[in-house]
Amino acid sequence: MHYQWTFWLFLANFSAVWYSWYHRDVITCVNHFNAETQVRLDYINICLSYTYVEEEGEKRYLLFYRWIHWTLLVLAAIYYIPRKFSKNSENPKVKKLIEDLAVHGSRYDHIERELVDRAVKYIALNLNTHNGIYFKFVGCNVIALVIDIFCFHALDFVLQGRFITYGWMAYPFDRDPQTFTDYMSRTFPPYSQCSLGPNNKLLAKRTELLGCHLTVMELYEKVFLIIWLWLIVLTAATVAYLLFLGFMWLPYFRMLLLKVAKPPGAKETVSDTIVNVLNCCKIGDVYLLYRLRQHLSHARFYELLTRLDDPEMVQLMGEDPADRVLQQKNQDNLRHRQQKMNIGTPKNKFADPSEMYMPGNNAFLVE
């Protein structure tokens, strides 16, 4: 939601505003004493940055009008930070296992059984070593939440303190097309004034008041309403997911997290199997099992739990196949040597083992 959807959302909004800025007139200003003629381009350039509206007898300069779309581009780049963090902290083996389950988990042939075997073997070999994955994932979500809060305050600063309350203050979005007194029109006023005086050094110490139409304001009000609504949803989802990850420390919640429907061929209760598995798992293993459960059917996930509940199966899956082959080979070689020794020694030649050694010369075996 952060480094994919939100990143592209900000980038799309930046592109829309940028296109409007470079392919249409973004401001139209006329002199109050000569409204039939467009003012000079150098006056227009000043008004783009220093146009203002009067509110309660005070001037509020719309300093954001000219530069706000570049803020969207910067925020889009900031929202790519969780992607870089998660990519640099991911476990390659876990990533490959979950990718295989995501690609082939929906099949009903022998591939699904092979995936269960692969998952059981991986967990048996790496049991109690996944806490780092859990804490890195929590850290990634904390970074995402910090970015959400920073984005709210950054846009609120750029929009002169009107963004955080923009959504609910504009509700129910009743527009006032005559006097433009509604909250959206006051936040993004389509019409403003521009004053050029002696301080501008362009009018020979005289003062002129210009009336301006800010044509992109109609786009701004809709773009930032969409961004406000999305950030509310995004922040709420991030907070809820952090709470969900925190509840994983509760034993009862862990059991509910791994709860599956009991298959017809199940011999034991699902709860007992889950409790037995959780007794040998740490928080990182619970999180990994939760991720695996998302890509397996109830029957296959119950099969995975039952195999993890069997100590002999876990020990067998945890052994390296190369070690088992080498051990079997050593046992076969030892058996062959023993058979050779039994064949080479005459049967019952020495009734007493002590007769195999001569008195006084016990270091040599007598044939």
- One domain, residues 123 and 269: yes
Residue with the bigger pLDDT between 204 and 76: it is: 76
Q: Is residue 286 part of a domain?
A: yes
Of the candidates 210, 241, 272, which is a domain's last residue? 241
Mean pLDDT, rounded, for 23-40: 76
- One domain, residues 172 and 212: yes
Work out the pLDDT band at 243, boundaries 50, 70, 90: very high
Of the candidates 223, 241, 259, which is a domain's last residue? 241
- One domain, residues 49 and 86: yes
Residue 43 has pLDDT above 60, yes or no: yes
Work out the pLDDT band at 27, boundaries 50, 70, 90: confident
Distance CA(5)–CA(251), nearest Å, equals 34
Work out the pLDDT band at 71, boundaries 50, 70, 90: very high
pLDDT score at 362? 47
Residue 278 has pLDDT above 60, yes or no: yes
- One domain, residues 62 and 183: yes
Answer positive or negative: Cα dihedral of 44, 48, 53, 58.
negative
Distance CA(333)–CA(221), nearest Å, equals 82
Residue 232 has pLDDT above 50, yes or no: yes
- One domain, residues 295 and 191: no
Question: Which H, E and C letters describe 24-88, residue by residue?
Answer: CCCEEEEECCEEEEECCHHHHHHHHHHCEEEECCEEEECCCCCCHHHHHHHHHHHCCHHHHHHHH
pLDDT score at 332? 66
pLDDT score at 364? 44
Mean pLDDT, rounded, for 312-333: 58
Residue with the bigger pLDDT between 119 and 158: it is: 158
Question: Which H, E and C letters describe 334-357, residue by residue?
Answer: HHHHHHHHHHHCCCCCCCCHHHHC
Q: Which of 119-128, 208-217, 336-345 has the lowest mean pLDDT?
A: 336-345
Of the candidates 201, 223, 241, which is a domain's last residue? 241
Q: Is residue 298 part of a domain?
A: yes
Residue 358 has pLDDT above 70, yes or no: no
pLDDT score at 252? 86
Mean pLDDT, rounded, for 114-130: 81
Residue 316 has pLDDT above 60, yes or no: no
Number of structural domains the chain divides into: 2
Work out the pLDDT band at 363, boundaries 50, 70, 90: very low
pLDDT score at 306? 82
Q: Is residue 367 part of a domain?
A: no
- Residue 196 forms beta bridges with which residues? 208
Residue 259 has pLDDT above 70, yes or no: yes
- One domain, residues 223 and 153: yes
Domain that holds residue 157: 2-90+140-241
Q: Which of 16-25, 281-290, 346-355 has the lowest mean pLDDT?
A: 346-355
- One domain, residues 75 and 199: yes
Q: Is residue 362 part of a domain?
A: no
**Which positions ≥6 away from 179 have C-beta within 8 Å?**
none
- One domain, residues 175 and 210: yes
Residue 304 has pLDDT above 70, yes or no: yes
Q: Model pTM greater than 0.75?
A: no
Structure tokens at 297: 């059917």
Work out the pLDDT band at 213, boundaries 50, 70, 90: confident
- One domain, residues 226 and 306: no
Average pLDDT, whole number, for the chain? 79
Distance CA(35)–CA(357), nearest Å, equals 130
- One domain, residues 77 and 161: yes
Which ranges constitute the DSSP H helices of the chain?
7-23, 41-50, 68-78, 81-89, 92-104, 110-125, 131-158, 166-170, 183-187, 217-247, 251-257, 270-279, 283-293, 298-309, 311-318, 321-344
Q: Is residue 332 part of a domain?
A: no
Residue with tokens 């994919």: 4
- One domain, residues 82 and 191: yes
Q: Is residue 324 part of a domain?
A: no
- One domain, residues 176 and 85: yes
Mean pLDDT, rounded, for 164-186: 82
Q: Is residue 199 part of a domain?
A: yes
Mean pLDDT, rounded, for 89-103: 78
pLDDT score at 105? 60
Percent of the chain with pLDDT over 70: 78
